[in-house]
């Protein structure tokens, strides 16, 4: 059992991934902090399934507004970020790709799923470009996506066609071939092969300044939230979950 200040984070016998436990721990730390700040009734029920009440969600939002200092990015910082990430601000960029999906469904063991995906990934990665049919054969055998019947073919994609986390991996690289690692998305684990790329047109800073500023504000928010959660964790009794291992706060 994992606990925060004696509040259970999982039900007896429920086995969760470290990421899921960290998410629940972070949420519980914030829920209890909201109670201590008088923003949430002491009678608000704790949850062992990761779901919190609407009142707790609103209280946590108010708590973060009070405690997180998120500076507005300067013009200079925005221009530097744009110069370093011009590939993220292209229009018309397209990728022709195919994939093999190992789907995450309720109750699936993510660790076991990854162990099943990795040998397939290594097989197609090691033979990348050597066998035109190997990837397609693997997609037909393993993919949980309907595209598997067609060798995993996804056709031409723009970033708007994809889930954001999938688009970041697909359009955040310039490679053609099998991407060098498994791609994680809300749908599961993907083995992705890029067949062709069309680069699109770079957008001038003036036309994307708002999007650049939003990206920097989000980065600042994540940094502030991470620091705040570490402060809360340092003041709490945390059992059965390692919060310092989190690369980012797992709170939506």
Q: Per-residue confidence at 250, pLDDT binned at 50, 70, 90?
A: very low
Domains of the chain: 3-72+216-245 (no CATH), 93-199 (3.10.50.40)
pLDDT band for position 244 (50/70/90)?
A: low
In the prediction, which pLDDT does 251 show? 42
Phi then psi for residue 184, to 5 deg, are -95, 135
Residue 89 has pLDDT above 90, yes or no: no
**pLDDT for position 110:** 84
Please indicate whether residue 4 or residue 145 has the higher confidence score (pLDDT): 145
Q: Would you say residue 120 has pLDDT above 90?
A: yes
Least confident of 6-15, 28-37, 112-121, 229-238: 6-15
Q: What percent of the chain has pLDDT over 90?
A: 54
Q: What average pLDDT score do residues 134-158 get?
A: 93
Closest CA to 29 of 230, 240, 185: 230
pTM comes to: 0.60
What integer pLDDT is reported at residue 125 of this predicted model? 83
Strand 3-4 and strand 7-8: the pairing is antiparallel
142 near 120, Cβ under 8 Å? Answer: yes
pLDDT tens-digit series, residues 23-72: 888 999 999 999 999 999 999 988 767 688 889 999 999 999 999 989 99
146 exposure class (CB count in 10 Å sphere: 0-12, 13-18, 19+): exposed
| pLDDT exceeds cutoff 60 at 207 | yes
Retrieve residue 248's tokens. Answer: 């980012």
CB atoms within 10 A of CB 105: 9
pLDDT of 83 > 90? The answer is: yes
Mean pLDDT computed over 140-144? 94
Give the model's pLDDT for residue 132: 57
């Amino acid at each position: 059992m994992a606990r925060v200040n004696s509040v259970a984070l999982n039900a007896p016998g429920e086995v969760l991934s470290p990421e899921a436990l960290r998410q629940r721990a972070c949420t519980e730390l914030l829920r209890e902090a909201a109670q201590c700040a008088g923003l949430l009734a002491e009678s608000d029920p704790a949850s062992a399934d990761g779901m919190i009440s609407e009142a707790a969600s609103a209280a946590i939002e108010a708590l973060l507004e009070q405690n997180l200092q998120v500076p507005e990015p300067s013009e200079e910082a925005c221009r530097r970020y744009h110069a370093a990430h011009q590939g993220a601000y292209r229009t018309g960029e397209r990728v022709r790709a195919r994939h093999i999906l190992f789907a995450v469904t309720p109750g699936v063991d993510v660790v076991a799923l990854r162990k099943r995906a990795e040998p397939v990934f290594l097989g197609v990665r090691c033979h990348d470009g050597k066998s035109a049919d190997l990837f397609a054969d693997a997609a037909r055998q393993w993919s949980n996506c309907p595209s598997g019947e067609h060798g995993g073919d996804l056709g031409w994609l723009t970033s708007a066609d994809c889930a954001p986390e999938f688009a970041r991996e697909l359009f955040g690289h310039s490679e053609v071939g099998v991407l060098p690692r498994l791609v994680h998305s809300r749908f599961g684990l993907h083995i992705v092969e890029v067949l062709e790329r069309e680069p699109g047109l770079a957008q001038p800073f003036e036309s994307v300044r708002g999007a650049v500023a939003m990206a920097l504000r989000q980065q600042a928010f994540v940094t502030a939230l991470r620091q705040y959660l570490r402060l809360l964790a340092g003041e709490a009794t945390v059992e059965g979950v390692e919060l310092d291992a989190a690369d980012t706060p797992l709170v939506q």
